[in-house]
Structure 1
Amino acid sequence: MSEITTSELDRRTLLRRAAAVGLVATPGVSFLSACAGSSGDGGDTKQATGTKSADNPLGIDPKAGVEIVIFDGGLGTKYATDVDTPLFNRKWPDAKITYSATQQVATTIKPRLNAGNAPDMINNSGTDLMDFGAIVKAGQAADLSDLFAAPSLDIPGKTVAETLVPGAVQQGTYDGKPYAVNYSFTVFGLWYNRKLFEKNGWTVPTTWADFTALLDKIKAAGITPFGYAGANAPYYMVRAIMTSAAKIGTEQVLKDIDNLKPGAWTNDAVFKAAQAWGEIGTKYIDKSYLGLKHTEVQLQQNQDKLAFYPCGSWLENEQAASTPPTFEYAMMAYPGVTASDQLPATAINAAAGEIYFAAAKSKNPQGGKEYLRTMLSKEAAVEFTKLTKSLTVVAGAADGLTISPGLTSANEALSKAGKDVFMGYLFDTWYKKLDDASREAANQLMFKGGDAKKFCDTMEAASRAVAKDSSITKFDRS
């Protein structure tokens, strides 16, 4: 899992905000642990700088080392070790890249951010990701305005920002300034085994009535119709509920939620979405999934014990080692919920996710930004897609590529959606308390009774609490 966060998406973003920020390093991460408290508050750390020029728009020191930390999740780490780092060193051969991978991002990195001796570029993802809104508030993330204004490494005549899909810069923007690169472009939907469906003559549904009718057939065949991992991936279900709410009432429903608007969670669209999904939980989910992790549930799907799984387009790559020849990933848009949905059944939630940022208080923040500029080159984006079976925010980078069945299916869904592709929500990265509450509320809804009113009231109360908490920095989404 990666957490796709948009946010996971998720990524995983998506994708994928969970445990409270850790302050103690765990065993097994010796490099990061050893670095964690080595230089006090970091206030006297001299930062590497160089001379700005057309060839060096960010003004990096060509000989200064760059430390990067990559989350070891669904996307793997080879894109960093085998693609991005060699590309960086092709241009800057005297700059040594110090690389580490971890699944415990907050536990290992947060102490270093607080101490002022952070790595230069950090991939903030996974179930132990850091509260990025709090990082921005604390001045620990570098302003990336100069990165996005810099020329692309390999797309002539365009700035980095001009090479990206619409909304990519916005998703990492806080109070008018960009602080994050949301790199992986994730398509969210319901994933299934195309071969299993073809074998049984099951047709992909577009209406809710067709969806539940198919779930009845699947249940009769002895297969769990729908499921997700309650132990560490309830945000997959939050994404499904929010997507359905947006289809019912447009993306404005999600914008109101992000903006902490009173009554946003008790909106009729959210209630109807929660009600529809709560019934799915009551009738078609295996209650034991509440205690399972994402990899355990995903393996059950690979074994054809589970039919539909809500997730982002990183799923296929994450399960590559466990996918048998009898399984071919395919994705469908979430079906329409009501006859009066304001978005069509083909509408898709797709968003940039998987946060990468340069630390403001590191030895070489400009070097961290230059590493991000390397990642945002077309060459790096193409190789990332080949390795991970995931798209990036570099527009058109995957054009002409022969890609995997699952990613092909996701691209087809995007094409069918046309103009009805929406970004989703941002509260999961803006307000960790609200994100945590949404995960618990989704699990309550799906595994413990399907009470839509309770879901809406619980989330409305959580939203009001965040809105009234003056210690939490508020953000605005127009």
Structure 2
Amino acid sequence: MGAAAVAVSLTLTGCFTQGNDTKSSDDKPANLTGEFEVVSFYPEGSPDYKRLEGLAKEFEGRFPGAKVKLVFGGGQDVPKIQARWRAGNPPEVNYGFFGRMAGNPDGMKYVEAGQVQSLSDAMGKNLTGFDKPWKDAVLPAVRTIVTSTDGTYYAAPEAVTTIQFFYNKKVFQQLGLSAPKTLPELFEAADKVKASGVAPFAVTGTFAPYLQLYLDYLLMRRSGTQNMLDVIAGKKDFASLPGAAEAVADLHKMVSSGYFIDGFKSTDFTAAQLAFFQGKAAMILMGSWLIGEMKESIPADFEVGTFAFPTVPGASGDQTGVYGGVNVQTVAKQSKNPALGVEWLRFVAEKSNQEAFVSATGNISAYEGVAAPKGFEAQAEMLKQANAFAPSYLGILSEPAEVKDAYGQAVVKLFFGQADAPATVQSINDGLKKARG
């Protein structure tokens, strides 16, 4: 699922070839030989795995004596990689094992145990194509995500995802609508779309985090993300949070107005996304992986547009923030060849490789000066602000089940018509307090 892994499956073999350029950086290390392992989110034979095979072949040509071994570590195999870290025999290059963005304790514990290789020295050296140190090429909004609180770099960013609305340009044009910039404009557009016989929003009712996205953003605009992170951490009460009741009321209005596509309660995420591209719904709130994930199902004449979640005039929350995430990659300090792992991450970050990655996958690069995919220019521009990012799903997916359910299941009940706005506020408040003891 795109929400779990932002890498997008497309045929990418050979996309990263750089001709005869064999220089990996302005400070190319010498005598890097031996076998090292690189974890793939996707299994052997998949398009992303083939992409990595192409990269591996070029890397081996650049460093004679080095051998890249690809290892599947996604989906059901994630526990196997975790077990290898615990056993002291981890792959060199891994996804995760560092979780600064949402204060993920499972990420930080590996750093605190001395198991994650510092990248600070490598980050201080110039990166090919950028004419500046590696760390300075990383987008400002991403830098704090790959460093510890003391400024040490422990991870390198891969793809960036952002959460925003996608809309059907043809439907909007036929109704004389433009992309909404404020919440009242969003409601006005939804009313006109609904009156035309098209559902305003496609959504899945079988995956709670996708339902939660609506309230996440309303709370960001009404209350501010930090307030909600404090609530989830047990530092504040949800019911007393300024703007919380209003945000829940906004969502209740959307549900009670019939803005969501018929049958959404039993529709899975793929079917919901397909309904959008089939013209059955005019808008969908989704991650930037949507286009790549559904590429084979998008009609040739479909015109898709994007817009940021609208602002709420007069509200005291964050009106410019964006929810999103960064796939981070780490090097295991206890692996056999950590130096090769570090050089692999530098190689992947080179500008020409980043440009090819964006072109092939539709993902937003985590690096400055790499053009964003069409339609995501505004989101990429926001990432130049150091504080632009907020963790997708408020970071709650890494929390204990009791915490996730206290928030997520209350949102589900609101969507399903099983609770009104005041009851939802009270349910979230009481549920989080109980979960936190």
Question: What TM-score do you get using the length of structure 1 for normalisation?
Answer: 0.73
The count of corresponding residues between Structure 1 and Structure 2 is 405
Pairing of 1:148-227 with structure 2 (within 5 A): 149-155=123-129, 158-176=132-150, 177-227=152-202
- Change beyond 3 A, Cα 1:413–1:171: closer
Q: Do the aligned partners of 1:350 and 1:421 also contact (CA within 8 Å) in 2?
A: no
The residue type equivalent to 1:2 in the other structure is G
Q: Do the aligned partners of 2:252 and 2:421 also contact (CA within 8 Å) in 1?
A: yes
Report Cα offsets for 1:317-366 as digits up to 9, x if no partner: 111111002312211122233x3124686x35154412322234433333
The residue type equivalent to 1:278 in the other structure is H
Q: Do the aligned partners of 1:257 and 1:427 also contact (CA within 8 Å) in 2?
A: no
Pairing of 1:50-449 with structure 2 (within 5 A): 54-56=27-29, 62-72=32-42, 77=48, 80-81=51-52, 84-101=55-72, 102-124=74-96, 133-138=105-110, 139=113, 142-146=116-120, 149-155=123-129, 158-176=132-150, 177-232=152-207, 234-257=208-231, 260-263=234-237, 266-282=240-256, 283-286=258-261, 288-337=263-312, 339-342=313-316, 347-349=320-322, 351-398=324-371, 407-412=373-378, 422-425=388-391, 427-428=395-396, 431-433=399-401, 434-435=403-404, 437-449=406-418
> Which deviates more, 367-376 or 408-417?
408-417
Report Cα offsets for 1:370-397 as digits up to 9, x if no partner: 2222222212211110011111111112
The residue type equivalent to 2:36 in the other structure is V
Percent of aligned pairs sharing the same letter: 21
Q: Do the aligned partners of 2:193 and 2:282 also contact (CA within 8 Å) in 1?
A: yes
Q: Do the aligned partners of 1:181 and 1:355 also contact (CA within 8 Å) in 2?
A: yes
Q: Do the aligned partners of 1:163 and 1:394 also contact (CA within 8 Å) in 2?
A: yes
Q: Do the aligned partners of 2:238 and 2:425 also contact (CA within 8 Å) in 1?
A: no
> Which deviates more, 296-305 or 63-72?
63-72
- Change beyond 3 A, Cα 1:414–1:159: closer
> Which deviates more, 418-427 or 290-299?
418-427
- Change beyond 3 A, Cα 1:82–1:223: farther
For 2:428 and 2:309, the matched residues in 1 are separated by: 22
SS in 2 for 1:104: helix
Q: Do the aligned partners of 2:36 and 2:69 also contact (CA within 8 Å) in 1?
A: yes
The residue type equivalent to 1:98 in the other structure is K
Q: Do the aligned partners of 2:126 and 2:133 also contact (CA within 8 Å) in 1?
A: yes
Q: Do the aligned partners of 1:208 and 1:335 also contact (CA within 8 Å) in 2?
A: yes
Match of 1:472 in 2: none
For 2:263 and 2:332, the matched residues in 1 are separated by: 41
Q: Do the aligned partners of 1:225 and 1:307 also contact (CA within 8 Å) in 2?
A: yes
Q: Do the aligned partners of 2:332 and 2:338 also contact (CA within 8 Å) in 1?
A: yes
Q: Do the aligned partners of 2:220 and 2:318 also contact (CA within 8 Å) in 1?
A: no
Q: Do the aligned partners of 1:147 and 1:373 also contact (CA within 8 Å) in 2?
A: no
SS in 2 for 1:440: helix
For 1:250 and 1:132, the matched residues in 2 are separated by: 20
For 1:259 and 1:385, the matched residues in 2 are separated by: 35
For 2:211 and 2:220, the matched residues in 1 are separated by: 14
Q: Do the aligned partners of 2:166 and 2:305 also contact (CA within 8 Å) in 1?
A: yes
Report Cα offsets for 1:131-152 as digits up to 9, x if no partner: 9632432548514343663414
The residue type equivalent to 1:97 in the other structure is V
Report Cα offsets for 1:204-252 as digits up to 9, x if no partner: 22233332232222223332221322323x3234333222222223444
For 1:466 and 1:12, the matched residues in 2 are separated by: 29
Question: What TM-score do you get using the length of structure 2 for normalisation?
Answer: 0.79
Displacement after TM superposition at 1:452 (Å): 3.6
Report Cα offsets for 1:246-302 as digits up to 9, x if no partner: 222344434534654222575122332222123213322246323333212111111
- Change beyond 3 A, Cα 1:179–1:421: closer
The residue type equivalent to 1:207 in the other structure is T
Match of 1:45 in 2: none
Displacement after TM superposition at 1:67 (Å): 1.2
Moved over 6 A (4+): 416-421
Report Cα offsets for 1:134-173 as digits up to 9, x if no partner: 2432548514343663414304653221111113131244
Report Cα offsets for 1:397-452 as digits up to 9, x if no partner: 22xxxx7xxx4322145659996972113633653544465433332232244534
Q: Which runs of 5+ in 1 are unaligned?
A: 4-9, 15-52, 126-130, 469-478
Match of 1:23 in 2: none
SS in 2 for 1:77: helix
Q: Say what the alpha-carbon RMSD is for the aligned residues.
A: 3.6
Q: Do the aligned partners of 1:150 and 1:159 also contact (CA within 8 Å) in 2?
A: yes
- Change beyond 3 A, Cα 1:319–1:265: farther
Match of 2:15 in 1: none
SS in 2 for 1:268: coil
SS in 1 for 2:139: coil
Match of 1:46 in 2: none
- Change beyond 3 A, Cα 1:362–1:410: same
Q: Which runs of 5+ in 2 are unaligned?
A: 9-25, 98-102
